[in-house]
């Protein structure tokens, strides 16, 4: 670029920096429209909100409890004598029982 092109570019940049900025406060009331989001618009209200039932969480929770108790019972029966059953089986069983208990509590019927 030549020196004259650089000077012209600097002048254009200075004009842009000094240009007035139009803020929302500068707009007249006729130009600004406030709209509610769809979920807050009462014109589309069809009835009370229904929540899904948490009882369905108890089905997998019961499966976790059954498999967890089975793993703990397997460890209690075989102990460390088996090549396939070890301390990891006990910890997996305890974890499954704990998660199953949480699922049973989380699946309790709520009255809203």
pLDDT in tens, the chain (112 residues): 677 776 677 676 666 666 555 555 555 556 667 777 877 777 777 777 777 788 889 999 999 999 999 999 999 999 888 888 999 999 999 999 999 999 999 998 877 6
Domain of 20 in residue numbering reads as 3-44
Task: Let me know if residue 111 belongs to a domain.
Answer: no
Asked if 94 and 67 touch (Cβ cutoff 8 Å), the reply is no
Task: Let me know if residue 112 belongs to a domain.
Answer: no
Q: Which helix (H) or strand (E) holds 78?
A: helix 58-78
* Angle in degrees, CA 73, 70, 72, rounded to 5: 40
Question: Is 40 in the same domain as 64?
Answer: no
Task: Let me know if residue 83 belongs to a domain.
Answer: yes
Residue from 88, 56, 54 nearest 72 by CA? 88
The domain total for the chain is: 2
Question: Is 79 in the same domain as 100?
Answer: yes
Question: Is 63 in the same domain as 100?
Answer: yes
Question: Is 31 in the same domain as 68?
Answer: no
């Amino acid at each position: 670029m030549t020196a004259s092109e650089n000077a012209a570019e600097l002048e254009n940049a200075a004009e842009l920096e000094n240009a007035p900025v139009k803020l929302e406060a500068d707009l007249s009331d006729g130009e600004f429209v406030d709209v509610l989001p769809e979920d807050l618009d009462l014109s589309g209200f069809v009835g009370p909100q229904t929540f899904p039932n948490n009882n369905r969480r108890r089905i997998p929770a019961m499966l976790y409890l059954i498999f967890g108790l089975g793993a703990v019972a397997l460890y209690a029966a075989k102990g460390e004598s088996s090549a396939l059953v070890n301390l990891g089986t006990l910890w997996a069983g305890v974890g499954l029982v704990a998660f199953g208990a949480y699922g049973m509590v989380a699946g309790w019927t709520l009255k809203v």
